[in-house]
Amino acid sequence: MTDKKIDITELNPNDGIEAYWLKFIHRTEVMAENHRVFFYVGDDEKFIIEMIVTYHDLSHPYDLMHRWYKHGWIKEKYDTHIGINTYYYDKDNDCHGWYNPTLTPDCKSVDFDMLLPYSPENAARLVAAAIRMEEMDIRHDW
């Protein structure tokens, strides 16, 4: 586990395309210091992206990162990774998790290609991907 202090609200877009999608963020709310932040998208805030930074203890043999590596699902171990949950409220105010880039399209597994260590650039990549999916209605459905 790392003791490094990070500002998880910092998003550093890698390019103009990511910067374009990130401009739709209306408000940011930190729920747990260096752990969880909510990005509210659009003036109506009907789409919320929860970003969670998970810290791994790579010295512990049962840490989840070791299992993913052992099974060949990841190529290297990270001391952190970014998790995304999405909350989309439709016209009936029902909540859906359709627009999550960190899950496979059938929502049955983590998309290990999108399992990224925490950095402002990787955070921007995942948050922008979720906003793009919502704006273009690219759904990952249960």
Tokens of 53: 């930074």
Q: Find, among 75, 83, 89, the residue nearest to 102 by Cα.
A: 83
Domain-embedded: residue 65: yes
Contact call for residues 89 and 40 (beta carbons, < 8 A): no
pLDDT at residue number 1? 44
Domain-embedded: residue 7: no
pLDDT tens digits for the chain (142 residues)?
Answer: 445 556 667 788 888 899 999 999 999 888 877 678 898 998 889 999 999 999 999 999 899 999 999 999 999 999 999 999 999 999 999 999 999 999 998 888 899 999 999 999 999 999 999 999 999 998 877 6
Domain-embedded: residue 111: yes
Cβ partners under 8 Å of residue 7, min gap 6? 120
Domain-embedded: residue 8: no
The CA–CA distances, whole Å, from 128 to 22, 30, 107 equal 6, 18, 19
Domain-embedded: residue 2: no
3-state secondary structure of 70: helix
CA distance 65 to 78: 7
pLDDT at residue number 91? 92
CA distance 31 to 75: 31
Domain-embedded: residue 106: yes
How many domains does one find in the chain? 1
Which domain range does residue 70 map to? 16-135
3-state secondary structure of 37: strand
Domain-embedded: residue 5: no
**What are 50's strand-pairing partners?**
38, 85
Q: What is this structure's pTM?
A: 0.88
Q: How far apart are the first and last CA of the chain?
A: 33
CA distance 69 to 136: 33
Domain-embedded: residue 105: yes
